[in-house]
């Protein structure tokens, strides 16, 4: 494979269909009433091109036509549909003459150097250090999303402020993992005005002792140990001796100090004491009061003691804690030898795992320079290694997934990525994290491509594949939005956070079961089982499920008709509802966009919402109000596709509980999908989707998963690869593993554009 080099860019070859003969008649018969002959509905005009070349250059226009025809958006409802042959001819011409697609000479898109998102960063730190007592991503900002996913390179920017946060995050991680010295002792200060208590001949809230007296302070001791006590004291001197201060802690420690500092400039008096955990009483006594009103020097007639503040510091005898497992894992490769030899081995091993490849001798030397600098400044061996590791963690080689770029001649097109790059693509696809030692070893030995499918199966069965569930399914099916919904508690008293998590858990368990168990992808649309715990089973009215652990439950009879597939999942039904009621529009739109890959366009400007557009006379049922809304020409096209799907789901209330009536009126779930036939229930709708829209579902899921795997949106030049993936999945019985195999074998996943000389990417 390494010797293959495919050209990209504009190509020409013998045309397979003639525009004037095969395409123009289709446009004239089905499109020009609205988009030709002077008509420009939606500002779309298909017949005003000065030349064939100009027509072929209007890529964005024809890309919209391609999508709308493929998704069934055009021609609109009520107009004669295109035949399969007409669709094929139109698509063939657009792919060949506008997109310039040649299945034998594919393109893989621009190389994007992708920053790790928050989840990938967290997982990478966990892979390097294991479980640690801090969340490394806690102070990182939320990631932006593009094309529906938060791992898209185009939106994962790096600002100076974010880089500073990564520096602080690395410091925080290493502080929790590598202990180079005992933790700093605590310091607690007590002020005279607020914390002192008069004991003898002294008032509360004062540190001035003008006669022999005692003030006290309660010292909160957190744990047994040696403590340092600082007493900031000064004195007004008189007579032949200095003011004397006595210290008593509990019943054991007693010491006397002479105070030389002036009362206006107090200085600390320090003593050490072993203290036990709990509150300890500290007493400060003025021992030698003196007053002589007849003294010759009026400034030395009255001896007084003034206490400004007391500080408790400690424990000061703490030993370094025993090394953590992560500490041992980092330093164990050092072995024997000099500090320099040990540090080199440690940094080479750690750097390989962090940068997902072996370090060059120059890279190790740069890290060693940091180690030597720290040692030269008096830091410990561990401290020097920690500084170098921090540099590893803030390097672009860790924070970005930069795949090696070959600079070649202008003839080169796409080149296969290296096995190390393939290992990273695979692990971040399935685990949202770096390769483990096994995967990295296969890549370094040049054996990964030979064992790629076996590795996919191993990785899907690994606990780290939960990341694919949370990050791909969580965004594809919009399960993350469950955290944002707030159903009205009065309308839905059964709603609580436990039920929310149970809803999410059901859908995540189904996804994991399908992908880990290599089950049919069509079970997302209809299945005879689901996963329930007691909370969700009670919500569904299903008996016999006890405890909060999820288990697989077979669906039969009425329950099968209600709950088969994700259309019956309370997670989907809740996140597509309003706080006080259902939303057939949201539910229909969710199915079109997330399952069929045919999202309707946004509503035209100045079109009123459903509540404002429906006449009062039809406010009785939601179906009647939707029908009234659909009578508006600007609304009819999209709502004719969304509403029947959403109305078929009306037997589920706003949090997914089954119901037969709404507002005292019996629910009518029947409807008709344009070009697909009628249905009378949600069960029959699932049947229509399986029978008439299976291809659209597989294509949509494949497109979403490929986009997630590549970290970019799907473009027109991905059509051939996507078609091959879909064909493989269909031939493989729509099994989940076949979909993943087809993606990791695909040209966009296995190849990248080479660079032209001078660093410019191929077109």
In SS3 terms, 419-457 reads as HHHHHHHHHHHHCCCCCCHHHHHHHHCCCCHHHHHHHHH
Beta bridge partners of 302: 291
Q: What's the pLDDT at 760?
A: 53
Are the C-beta atoms of residues 59 and 99 closer than 8 Å to each other?
yes
Q: What's the pLDDT at 6?
A: 34
CATH superfamily of 186-314: Galactose-binding domain-like (2.60.120.260)
Mean pLDDT of the chain: 88
Of 114, 174, 164, nearest to 139 by C-alpha is 164
Q: How far apart are CA 523 and CA 698, in angstroms?
A: 12
For 25-56, how does the pLDDT look when each residue is reduced to its tens digit (9 = 90+)?
A: 888 888 888 888 888 787 888 887 777 788 87
Q: Which residue has the tokens 């009215």?
A: 541
Q: What's the pLDDT at 13?
A: 34
Mean predicted confidence (pLDDT) in 261-286: 93
User: What DSSP string runs through 137-190?
Assistant: TTTSPPPP-BTTBTT-GGG----HHHHHHHHHHHHHHHHHH---SPPPPEEEEE
Q: How far apart are CA 555 and CA 545, in angstroms?
A: 13
Mean predicted confidence (pLDDT) in 307-331: 87
Q: What's the pLDDT at 690?
A: 96
Are the C-beta atoms of residues 123 and 464 closer than 8 Å to each other?
yes
Mean predicted confidence (pLDDT) in 648-668: 96
With 0-12 / 13-18 / 19 or more C-beta atoms within 10 angstroms meaning exposed / middle / buried, residue 378 is exposed
Q: What's the pLDDT at 753?
A: 86
Q: How far apart are CA 600 and CA 613, in angstroms?
A: 20
Report which DSSP code applies to 711: T
Residues 6+ apart with CB under 8 A from 676: 688, 692, 693
Are the C-beta atoms of residues 503 and 538 closer than 8 Å to each other?
no
Main-chain dihedrals φ then ψ at residue 528, nearest 5 degrees: -105, 20
Q: What's the pLDDT at 607?
A: 60
Q: How far apart are CA 548 and CA 534, in angstroms?
A: 6
Q: How far apart are CA 92 and CA 216, in angstroms?
A: 92
Mean predicted confidence (pLDDT) in 301-330: 88
Q: What's the pLDDT at 728?
A: 98
Mean predicted confidence (pLDDT) in 545-570: 97
The SS3 call for residue 202 is coil
Residue 551 has pLDDT above 60, yes or no: yes
- Print the SS3 string covering 210-221: CCCCEEEEEEEE
- Print the SS3 string covering 22-51: HHHHHHHHHCHHHHCCCCCHHHCCCCCCCC
Q: For the chain, state the CA radius of gyration.
A: 37
Q: 694-710 vs 719-731: helix axis angle to the nearest 10?
A: 120
With 0-12 / 13-18 / 19 or more C-beta atoms within 10 angstroms meaning exposed / middle / buried, residue 135 is middle
Most confident by average pLDDT, 85-94, 418-427, 664-673: 418-427
* Segment holding 231, helix H or strand E: strand 225-236
Main-chain dihedrals φ then ψ at residue 373, nearest 5 degrees: -60, -45
Residues 6+ apart with CB under 8 A from 582: 573, 622, 649, 650, 652, 653, 654
The SS3 call for residue 521 is helix
Q: What's the pLDDT at 423?
A: 98
State the pLDDT confidence band at 568, using cuts at 50, 70 and 90: very high
Residue 14 has pLDDT above 60, yes or no: no
Q: Which residue has the tokens 């390494």?
A: 2
Task: Provide the percentage of residues in the chain whose pLDDT is more than 90.
Answer: 67
List the alpha helices (DSSP H) in 653-735. Answer: 682-692, 694-710, 719-731
For 431-488, how does the pLDDT look when each residue is reduced to its tens digit (9 = 90+)?
A: 999 999 999 999 999 999 999 999 999 999 999 999 999 999 999 999 999 999 999 9
More confident residue, 615 or 599: 599
Q: How far apart are CA 90 and CA 23, in angstroms?
A: 6
CA 500 to chain centre: 19
Main-chain dihedrals φ then ψ at residue 244, nearest 5 degrees: -115, 135
Most confident by average pLDDT, 198-207, 532-541, 641-650: 532-541
Q: Where are the domains of the chain?
A: 19-98, 186-314
More confident residue, 552 or 13: 552
Q: How far apart are CA 225 and CA 223, in angstroms?
A: 6
Residue 146 has pLDDT above 80, yes or no: yes
Residue 287 has pLDDT above 90, yes or no: yes
For 486-534, how does the pLDDT look when each residue is reduced to its tens digit (9 = 90+)?
A: 999 999 999 999 999 999 999 999 999 999 999 999 999 999 999 999 9
Are the C-beta atoms of residues 318 and 183 closer than 8 Å to each other?
yes
Least confident of 92-96, 579-583, 590-594, 633-637: 633-637
Q: What's the pLDDT at 403?
A: 63
Q: Is the dihedral of CA 742, 745, 749, 752 positive or negative?
A: negative
For 420-432, how does the pLDDT look when each residue is reduced to its tens digit (9 = 90+)?
A: 999 999 999 999 9
For 351-365, how does the pLDDT look when each residue is reduced to its tens digit (9 = 90+)?
A: 999 999 999 999 999
State the pLDDT confidence band at 109, using cuts at 50, 70 and 90: confident
Most confident by average pLDDT, 33-47, 119-133, 664-678: 119-133
């Amino acid at each position: 494979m390494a010797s293959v080099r495919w050209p990209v860019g504009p190509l020409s070859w013998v045309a397979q269909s003639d525009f004037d003969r095969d395409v123009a008649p289709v446009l004239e018969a089905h499109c020009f009433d609205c988009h030709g002959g002077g008509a420009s509905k939606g500002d779309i005009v298909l017949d005003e091109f000065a030349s064939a070349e100009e027509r072929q250059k209007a890529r964005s226009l024809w890309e919209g036509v391609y999508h709308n025809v493929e998704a069934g958006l055009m021609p609109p409802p009520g107009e004669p549909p295109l035949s399969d042959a007409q669709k094929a001819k139109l698509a063939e011409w657009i792919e060949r003459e506008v997109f310039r697609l040649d299945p034998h000479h594919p393109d893989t898109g621009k190389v994007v150097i992708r920053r790790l998102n928050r989840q990938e960063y967290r997982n990478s730190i966990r892979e390097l250090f294991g479980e640690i007592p801090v969340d490394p991503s806690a102070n990182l900002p939320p990631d932006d999303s593009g094309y529906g996913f938060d791992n898209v390179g185009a939106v994962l920017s790096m600002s100076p402020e974010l880089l500073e946060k990564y520096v602080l995050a690395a410091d925080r991680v290493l502080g929790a993992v590598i202990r180079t010295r005992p933790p700093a002792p605590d310091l607690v200060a007590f002020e005279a005005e607020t914390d002192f208590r008069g004991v003898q001949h002294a008032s509360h809230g004062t540190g001035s002792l003008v006669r022999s007296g005692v003030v006290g302070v309660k010292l909160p001791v957190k744990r047994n140990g040696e403590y340092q006590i600082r007493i900031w004291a000064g004195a007004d001197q008189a007579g032949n001796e200095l003011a004397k201060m006595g210290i008593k802690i509990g019943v054991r420690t007693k010491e006397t100090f002479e105070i030389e500092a002036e009362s206006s400039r107090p200085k600390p008096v320090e003593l050490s004491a072993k203290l036990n955990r709990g509150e300890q009483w500290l007493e400060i006594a003025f021992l030698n009061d003196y007053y002589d009103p007849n003294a010759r020097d009026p400034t030395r007639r009255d001896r007084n003691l003034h206490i400004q503040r007391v500080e408790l510091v400690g424990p000061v005898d703490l030993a370094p804690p025993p090394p953590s497992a992560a500490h041992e894992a980092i330093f164990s490769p050092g072995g024997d030898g000099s500090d320099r030899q040990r540090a080199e081995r440690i940094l080479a091993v750690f750097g390989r795992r962090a940068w997902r490849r072996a370090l060059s001798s120059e890279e190790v030397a740069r890290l060693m320079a940091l180690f030597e600098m720290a040692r030269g400044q008096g830091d410990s061996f561990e401290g020097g290694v920690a500084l170098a590791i921090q540099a590893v963690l803030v390097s672009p080689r860790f924070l970005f997934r930069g795949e090696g770029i070959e600079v070649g001649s202008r003839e080169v097109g796409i080149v296969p990525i290296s096995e190390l790059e393939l290992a990273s693509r695979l692990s971040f696809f399935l685990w949202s994290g770096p390769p483990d030692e096994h995967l990295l070893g296969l890549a370094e030995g040049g054996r990964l491509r030979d064992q790629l499918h076996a590795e996919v199966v191993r990785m899907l069965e690994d606990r780290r594949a939960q990341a694919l569930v949370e990050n791909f399914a969580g965004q594809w099916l919009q399960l993350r939005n469950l955290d944002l919904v707030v159903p009205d508690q009065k309308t839905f008293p059964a709603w609580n956070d436990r039920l929310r998590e149970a809803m999410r858990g059901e859908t995540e368990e189904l996804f994991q079961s399908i992908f880990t168990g290599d089950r049919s992808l069509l079970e997302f649309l209809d299945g005879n089982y689901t996963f329930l715990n007691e909370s969700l089973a009670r919500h569904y009215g299903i008996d016999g499920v006890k405890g909060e652990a999820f288990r697989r439950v077979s669906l039969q009879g009425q329950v099968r008709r209600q709950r088969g597939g994700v259309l019956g999942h309370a997670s989907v039904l809740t996140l597509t509802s309003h706080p006080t009621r259902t939303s057939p529009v949201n539910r229909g739109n969710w199915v079109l966009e997330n399952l069929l890959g045919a999202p309707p366009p946004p509503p035209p400007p100045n079109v009123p919402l459903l509540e404002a557009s429906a006449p009062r006379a039809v406010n009785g049922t939601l179906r009647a109000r939707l029908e009234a809304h659909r009578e508006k020409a600007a609304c009819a096209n999209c709502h004719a596709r969304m509403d029947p799907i959403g109305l078929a789901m009306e037997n589920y209330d706003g949090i997914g509980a089954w119901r037969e009536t709404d507002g005292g009126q019996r629910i009518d779930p029947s409807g008709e999908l344009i070009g697909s036939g009628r249905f009378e229930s949600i069960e029959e709708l699932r049947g229509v989707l399986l029978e008439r829209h299976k291809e659209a579902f597989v294509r949509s899921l494949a497109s979403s998963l490929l986009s997630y795997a590549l970290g970019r949106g799907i473009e027109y030049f991905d059509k051939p690869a996507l078609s091959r993936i879909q064909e493989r999945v269909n031939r493989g019985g729509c099994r989940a593993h076949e979909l993943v195999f087809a993606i990791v074998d695909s040209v966009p996943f296995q190849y990248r554009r080479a660079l032209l000389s001078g660093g410019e990417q191929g077109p």
